[in-house]
Structure 1
Amino acid sequence: MASHGSTTSGTLENRELHRGLSQRHIMFIAIGTAIGTGLFYGSAGGIQTAGPGVILSFLIAGAAVYLVMRALGEMTLREPVSGSFAAYASRYLGPFAGYVTGWTFVFELAVVIVADTAAIAKYMAFWFPEVPAWAWVAATILVIGLINMTHVGNFGEAEFWLTLIKVGAIVAMIFGGVILMFSGASFADGTPAGLNNLVDHGGFLPHGVLGVLAALAIVTFSFGGIETLGVAAGEAKDPEKVLPKAINTVPIRILLFYVLTMVVIMSLMPWTSVDGSASPFVQIFEGLGVPFAPHILNFVVLTAAISAINACIYASGRLLYAMAHDGQAPRAFTNTNKGGVPWLSVVVMLVVMVLGAVLITVNPDAFGLIAGVASFAVVFTWAMIFLSHRAMQKRVKEEGAAPSPFPMPLGPVGTWLGLGFVATVVITMATLPDSRQALIIGLVWVAALTAAWFVTGVRTSAAVHDRTGQLPMARTHD
């Protein structure tokens, strides 16, 4: 693609991204995007819905995540680009599909940012209940803005250290929890810690299979944003080497960070004691009377929320940058500063944080609805990734291209299994009253996007920019 040089050297008109993410950065972005507010705070809703059966929900959703990442990985290794799956949807399904996919993922990231903003307010209230939420949101905006307005390497470095804190805390929590389970510790109500808590309070499936399915719509939110790895590949220095390594760690990460964590949490306390007033992690160790542990864990979950917002702002910027090049977003989103950062998208997402602060101030209990809307956006994005992957497989076969070096497990069957998961979540959301409102909001969003496609000039602009050759690449920057 032709370079869009700056009109003035070093100004905001420099229109190229920089390849500044190392293998270490990519690996930790892969880990970090799978460990966020959905696990530390949102898991309470899944536990309340399915009891210990939420472990099965995480296993099923985790398998779907792996299939998503393998589909995305196969496409990315054929053509590492900025914008990733939205670009592939445009190429293999048409400009409209790329437009809807890209904007829905941006919508997903914005909703996740609002959810994390609400979580930050909850976490800080644990220490400073008298301080208004907007003060902490303002401080977070300042920190996140400074990180994301500089070179992409700074984002990668920040995400590396934030993820290191999260991973270390989870591993320590698991080991500490196991020790407590076998040392005779008891919860505040006198219930002894132990694996028996997984079956003693209504059984392993207290709400049956329907509880597990209902929890799927909740826990899917936990994995929202993991697609960021595909976006980051566009700025990786060696995507062919680092991307397969990062993706192949997904099953281990899910088993360790989600499944094993849920086993430990619900062994330490009766699942019926999880009330959602705080992170289950904090609530458990507070109930067990472990000195300082609740404060340490509250710091960790706060770090996780900041990390998630950081990653969401990064991903939205890179995606809007690519979509703007395709005529599917305002051209202003192609403008970057001298650090190669698409600064306008950062500003837009910081404004989303402000709106999130207003929402949680008006309705402090809005987290459940926000998580539900995010779950819809997540599965919609996953569906488009699977459909793009299926279309790519057909085109590769028709053109007689070389086999993929990183093929989807089970081939086309893996793609159809992923689409089956998406259909299950959507049907469940439509069936359950608690999630139906979130589904309606999601469908209204898609309808609004469709109307905008025909009413505004996006349709014509996207058709003009529809690529048949190379997609916009990021510039190597040392």
Structure 2
Amino acid sequence: MTGNETAPPSPDVPAARPGGDVRALNRELSNRHIQLIAIGGAIGTGLFMGSGKAISLAGPSLLLAYLIIGLMLFFVMRAMGEMFLHDLRFKSFQDFSREMIGPWAGFFTGWTYWVLWVVTAAAEMIAIIGYFDFWIGNLNVSMICTAALLLALLGSNLLTVKLFGELEFWFALIKIIAIIALILVGAYMVTTGFTSPDGTVASVTYLWSHGGVFPTGLTGFLAAFQLAIFSFIGTELIGTAAAETADPHKTLPKAINAIPVRIIIFYVLALAAIMAVTPWDRVSPEMSPFVNVFNLAGLVAAASVMNFVVLTSASSSSNSGIFSTSRMLYGLADTGYASKRFARLSGRHVPANALVLSGALVFIAFPVLKIGGTVMRAFQLISSVSSILVLFIWSLIMVAYIMYRRKFPQAHAQASFRVPGAVFMPWVVLVFFLGMIAILALDEETRVALVLTPLWFIALAVVWRLRFAGRPAVVKTPAAAAD
């Protein structure tokens, strides 16, 4: 062991909770849960509802944009997985950010990820109200139905983490079935030479014959990256669930290594099928292209079927948001950066107080909706803010990994799950994310978010300076627990 390396704490002993509570989060999530949580996290509502706009902006180059950002995220997830397996007592990436970079990084990561998912979950709730209203036609009744759904999701999270895993399993399964059905229907239409009512014959050549792969030039290609970032929010969710995984050494590597294949299937193949059935320049940005493909195939109930799918997708994102925010708040309290009451576990080993507060804040969706005509613009602004916040989180994960390799070189050398190209790839990913920030500055709507979001970090810096600078995080050791 080198001079600058200390032995990692035993992963088998749970860290003590503040106030002497030595109970730990239960590891009740099985391989089945983690695999579907990983898939569900990589399939956002944006794929179903926003892909039409993305296709109209970028054309077939959208496929390349998803492949590139998916590749970058694969290295982020590999780095996260290696650090989690280095010390199984890490409950989230706020823990290894604090350990590898410093206390301030844990503070910034925890609170930023917390607000990211509160805002994202609230935005998804606004979308859910709209999905219910598609069937009900009464906004007030739709709001009541959405509130009931939110309470049900909160209640399920309060029971056991296993129930959260079960809900995410079925939510993700619905999304998977819908996407596979789209790919199969699209493949059938192409191979049989399906002709749409306007005389368009389905053909894979549409991917390059209508203006080439980059029909809208560099501007459209870069616009695709802006949309893809928001679509991939949630991919890192398996990191938040790591502390409650039954067999992390088996399930985490398996889930992370499957990310590239899942991106190819659920994004590239699905979008390629859409653009092979209908040329990219005829895809309407105002409606879900999924609905359009099923309509062309003669599925009469396509609109209702896809409305159900996007409703479950938004519910899945909200459920993930409630779970993630509660675990982040729990971790912040555990390290002394939030009230200790949020570090208390219920008899079912879930952070009940953190869950209740995080779930209650998601109800901000309802007064926002009551504002009126600015809801859609607010939703777009929230999406941009979320993209910037998640780029910060992903970047800190890579910085933490660079520091991990410096602090624990022997642990890295002996790790069975290492980052490919660990010496240079973290820097490549960081440069890529910096480029993404520059791209966000090109669009008017995302530029507004880019100007407003730093206010959050300034507020965090002020709080850190006034309350926590110079104070060590309250991290209990197993020995302290015994005392």
Q: What is the TM-score with the length of structure 2 in the denominator?
A: 0.89
2:382 to 370, 388, 393: 370
1:454 match: 465
2:6 match: none
Whether contact under 8 Å (2:154, 2:322) holds in the other structure is no
Alpha carbon RMSD of aligned pairs, Å? 2.6
Structure 1 residue 198: Cα displacement? 2.8
Structure 1 residue 260: Cα displacement? 0.8
2:168 match: 159
Correspondence list, 1:342-421, <5 A: 342-361=351-370, 362=372, 363-366=374-377, 367-397=379-409, 402-421=413-432
2:295 match: 286
Structure 1 residue 156: Cα displacement? 0.9
- The 3 A distance-change label for structure 1 pair 85 and 464 is closer
Whether contact under 8 Å (2:121, 2:321) holds in the other structure is yes
Whether contact under 8 Å (2:103, 2:473) holds in the other structure is no
The 1-side partners of 2:270 and 2:479 are apart by: 40
SS at match of 2:376: coil
2:11 match: none
- The 3 A distance-change label for structure 1 pair 235 and 200 is same
Structure 1 residue 246: Cα displacement? 0.9
- Write the letter of the residue equivalent to 1:444: L
* 302-311 vs 70-79, greater mean Cα deviation: 302-311
- Write the letter of the residue equivalent to 1:168: I
Whether contact under 8 Å (2:81, 2:256) holds in the other structure is yes
Cα deviations by residue, 1:220-275 (Å, 9 ceiling, x for unpaired)? 11111111101211111111111111111111000001111111122222334444
Correspondence list, 1:122-141, <5 A: 122-132=130-140, 133-141=142-150
Cα deviations by residue, 1:269-315 (Å, 9 ceiling, x for unpaired)? 23344444443322443355432233222212211111111122112
Structure 1 residue 5: Cα displacement? 9.1
2:123 match: 115
Cα deviations by residue, 1:350-377 (Å, 9 ceiling, x for unpaired)? 3333212332443231332221111111
Structure 1 residue 126: Cα displacement? 3.0
- The 3 A distance-change label for structure 1 pair 288 and 444 is farther
- Write the letter of the residue equivalent to 1:55: L
1:54 match: 62
1:307 match: 316
* 86-95 vs 204-213, greater mean Cα deviation: 204-213
The 2-side partners of 1:210 and 1:67 are apart by: 26
- The 3 A distance-change label for structure 1 pair 266 and 401 is closer
1:263 match: 272
- Write the letter of the residue equivalent to 2:450: L
Q: Which segments of 5 or more consecutive residues in structure 1 lack a partner in the other structure? A: 8-12, 474-478
2:331 match: 322
* 318-327 vs 88-97, greater mean Cα deviation: 318-327
SS at match of 1:411: coil
1:98 match: 106
- The 3 A distance-change label for structure 1 pair 140 and 202 is farther
- Write the letter of the residue equivalent to 1:47: I
The 1-side partners of 2:94 and 2:47 are apart by: 26
Structure 1 residue 93: Cα displacement? 0.8
Structure 1 residue 400: Cα displacement? 7.3
Q: Which segments of 5 or more consecutive residues in structure 2 lack a partner in the other structure? A: 1-13
1:476 match: none
- Write the letter of the residue equivalent to 1:391: M
2:78 to 41, 65, 70: 70
Whether contact under 8 Å (2:116, 2:389) holds in the other structure is yes
1:34 match: 42
The 1-side partners of 2:260 and 2:29 are apart by: 23
2:451 match: 440
Whether contact under 8 Å (1:80, 1:234) holds in the other structure is yes
* 17-26 vs 286-295, greater mean Cα deviation: 286-295
- The 3 A distance-change label for structure 1 pair 151 and 471 is farther
The 1-side partners of 2:17 and 2:473 are apart by: 17
SS at match of 1:346: helix
SS at match of 2:427: helix
Structure 1 residue 31: Cα displacement? 1.3
- The 3 A distance-change label for structure 1 pair 71 and 2 is closer
- Write the letter of the residue equivalent to 2:367: V
Cα deviations by residue, 1:156-195 (Å, 9 ceiling, x for unpaired)? 1111122122112211111012112333434564433322
Give the number of aligned pairs.
464
